[in-house]
């Protein structure tokens, strides 16, 4: 039994389900494109397609996990509390969002078109799981750059959620903000459950999350963000003594229970996400591919290093034991824009050809791992085991 658990943990650690889903989608889309398209968009459960079930329902729980991490990190003792110790990574996060967006828009003016301008939000995302894996491989598990990158990636995803909500509504359906009153009602319901000291997370998900999802869906904003508004309202520990992705077995609050029980489901469910979103033809490489890829690699590196170094100059130092050369390598690692970047690409473009090209750029950003490895060797970055 212990061996099975170790194998499961190993598969989760190396994002095996997501990678498998990506390769399965690539193979299916290139060898049988019509069959793949039918599978994605044909009714599967009642009128709901596999694509809708994955992106609009399953991803609710993925973004819910991200919201849990952000909520916990803001508690006393968390990585974002007090604010002063988080200033440097948060400024680096801002650089990791602004840098890629600026590089994308600048490159698009030179080699792109007006139609591609909507894609600026795609390279602002950093894949948490792959960034964590690459950081451990390059820096070693005990290096402060690992926690720095995790904090940056989670904060980055928080900004990414806002970008999706604000800048990428469905152009075919204008936003109807009046429906957001349902989302507010969901938050009120969740707060009421907390006041009544309801300890199970299920009522919060069903009542608060259900109303939030319906409000976003009817408002024509992406309903996958439904739990982002609910998770901070769940009962949680008064302080956080663990770092990102470390499990506190003594924390029995609703927020901790949700993370513990859904993290495995979400990690393996990312196979479905990969299958639903990574099926692009290898011939789809185009201008959008290079815009996204260059913006991720160059924009992330420049933005994170520039604002991280600026924060240090202003009196907000890097974590103890982390040097500027580590910051530079961390910036390259943050250029891995996989899960959320694929998600944003699906929202940014409706044209299948452009969307496929942009997604290819997000997937090719995996090359950042190899660039970071070589840069780390060249700069003599020391591993801390």
* CA–CA separation, 236 and 75 (whole Å): 9
Whether the pLDDT of residue 204 is over 90: the answer is yes
Give residue 11's pLDDT band: very low, low, confident or very high (50, 70, 90). Answer: low
Give residue 147's pLDDT band: very low, low, confident or very high (50, 70, 90). Answer: confident
Interior angle at CA 148, CA 293 and CA 254, nearest 5: 105
Report in angstroms the alpha-carbon separations of 351 from 14, 282, 283: 32, 16, 15
* CA–CA separation, 251 and 240 (whole Å): 9
Q: What percent of the chain has pLDDT over 90?
A: 57
Give residue 9's pLDDT band: very low, low, confident or very high (50, 70, 90). Answer: low
Interior angle at CA 79, CA 77 and CA 82, nearest 5: 60
What's this model's pTM, rounded to 2 decimal places? 0.81
Per residue in 329-358, pLDDT (tens digit) is 999 999 998 888 888 898 899 898 999 999
Cα dihedral 39/43/48/50 (nearest 10): -10
* CA–CA separation, 71 and 73 (whole Å): 6
> Given this model, what pLDDT does residue 118 score?
94
Give residue 226's pLDDT band: very low, low, confident or very high (50, 70, 90). Answer: very high
Q: Are residues 323 and 362 in contact, defined by beta-carbon separation less than 8 angstroms?
A: no
Whether the pLDDT of residue 121 is over 80: the answer is yes
Q: Which of 217-221, 292-296, 325-329 has the lowest mean pLDDT?
A: 217-221
Give residue 86's pLDDT band: very low, low, confident or very high (50, 70, 90). Answer: confident
> Given this model, what pLDDT does residue 51 score?
95
Give me 256's structure tokens. Answer: 């901790």
Whether the pLDDT of residue 190 is over 60: the answer is yes
Whether the pLDDT of residue 297 is over 80: the answer is yes
Q: Give the domain 2-168+222-378 fold.
A: Na+/H+ antiporter like fold (1.20.1530)
Q: Cα 202 from chain centroid?
A: 24
DSSP state of 123: G
> Given this model, what pLDDT does residue 7 score?
60
- Mean pLDDT of the region 102-109: 97
* CA–CA separation, 385 and 383 (whole Å): 6
> Given this model, what pLDDT does residue 73 score?
75
Whether the pLDDT of residue 8 is over 70: the answer is no
* CA–CA separation, 125 and 337 (whole Å): 5
> Who's near 243: CB < 8 A, 6+ residues apart?
79, 147, 150
* CA–CA separation, 130 and 267 (whole Å): 12
> Given this model, what pLDDT does residue 257 score?
92
Residue ranges per domain, the chain? 2-168+222-378
Q: How many residues does the chain have?
A: 385
Helix (H) or strand (E) holding 43: strand 43-45
Interior angle at CA 52, CA 48 and CA 58, nearest 5: 110
If we measure between CA atoms, which residue out of 246, 302, 228 comes closest to residue 132? 246
State yes or no: cis peptide before 82, omega within 30 of 0: yes
> Interhelix angle for 324-333 vs 144-167, to 10°?
40
Q: Which of 46-60, 118-132, 242-256 has the lowest mean pLDDT?
A: 242-256
Q: Cα 224 from chain centroid?
A: 12
Whether the pLDDT of residue 224 is over 70: the answer is yes
Whether the pLDDT of residue 207 is over 60: the answer is yes
Whether the pLDDT of residue 245 is over 60: the answer is no
Q: Cα 109 from chain centroid?
A: 27
Whether the pLDDT of residue 170 is over 80: the answer is no
- Mean pLDDT of the region 352-375: 94
Whether the pLDDT of residue 10 is over 70: the answer is no
> Given this model, what pLDDT does residue 60 score?
94
Would you call 358 helix, strand, or coil by DSSP? helix
* CA–CA separation, 317 and 323 (whole Å): 10
List the alpha helices (DSSP H) in the chain.
Answer: 2-13, 16-31, 33-41, 50-52, 59-73, 83-111, 128-139, 144-167, 180-195, 202-203, 210-218, 254-277, 287-294, 300-313, 324-333, 339-348, 352-364, 368-378
> What is the chain's mean pLDDT, rounded?
88
Burial of 315 (0-12, 13-18, 19+ CB in 10 A): exposed
Q: Which residue has the tokens 């769940």?
A: 234
């Amino acid at each position: 039994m212990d061996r099975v658990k170790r194998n499961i943990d190993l598969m989760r650690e190396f994002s095996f389900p997501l990678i498998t889903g990506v390769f399965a989608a690539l193979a299916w889309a290139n060898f049988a494109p019509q069959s793949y398209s039918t599978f994605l968009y044909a009714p599967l459960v009642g009128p709901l397609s596999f694509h809708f079930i994955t992106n609009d329902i399953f991803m609710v729980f993925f973004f819910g996990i991200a919201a849990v991490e952000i909520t916990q990190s803001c508690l006393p003792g968390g990585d974002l509390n007090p604010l002063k110790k988080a200033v440097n990574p948060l400024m680096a996060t801002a650089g990791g969002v602004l840098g890629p967006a600026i590089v994308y828009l600048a490159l698009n003016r030179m080699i792109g078109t007006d139609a591609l301008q909507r894609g600026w939000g795609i390279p602002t995302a950093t894949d948490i799981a792959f960034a964590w894996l690459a950081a451990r491989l390059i820096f070693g598990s005990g290096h402060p750059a690992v926690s720095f990158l995790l904090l940056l990636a989670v904060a980055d995803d928080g900004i990414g959620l806002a970008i999706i909500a604000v800048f990428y509504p469905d152009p075919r359906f204008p936003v109807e903000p009046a429906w957001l009153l349902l989302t507010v009602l969901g938050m009120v319901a969740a707060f009421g459950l907390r006041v009544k000291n309801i300890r199970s997370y299920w009522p919060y998900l069903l009542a608060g999350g259900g109303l939030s999802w319906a409000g976003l869906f009817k408002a024509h904003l992406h309903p996958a963000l439904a739990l982002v508004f609910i998770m901070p309202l769940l009962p949680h520990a008064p302080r956080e003594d663990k770092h990102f992705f470390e499990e506190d077995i003594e924390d029995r609050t609703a927020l901790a229970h949700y993370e513990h029980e859904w993290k495995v489901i979400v990690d393996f469910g990312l196979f479905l996400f990969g299958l639903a979103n990574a099926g692009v033809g290898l011939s789809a490489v185009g201008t959008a591919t290079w815009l996204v890829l260059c913006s991720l690699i160059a924009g992330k590196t420049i933005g994170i290093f520039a604002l991280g170094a600026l924060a240090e100059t202003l009196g907000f130092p890097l974590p103890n034991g982390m040097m500027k050369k580590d910051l530079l390598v961390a910036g390259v690692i943050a250029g891995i824009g996989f899960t959320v970047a694929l998600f944003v690409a699906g929202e940014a473009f409706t044209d299948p050809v452009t969307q496929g090209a942009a997604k290819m750029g997000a997937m090719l950003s995996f090359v950042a791992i190899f660039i970071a490895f070589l840069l780390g060797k060249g700069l003599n970055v020391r591993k801390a085991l």
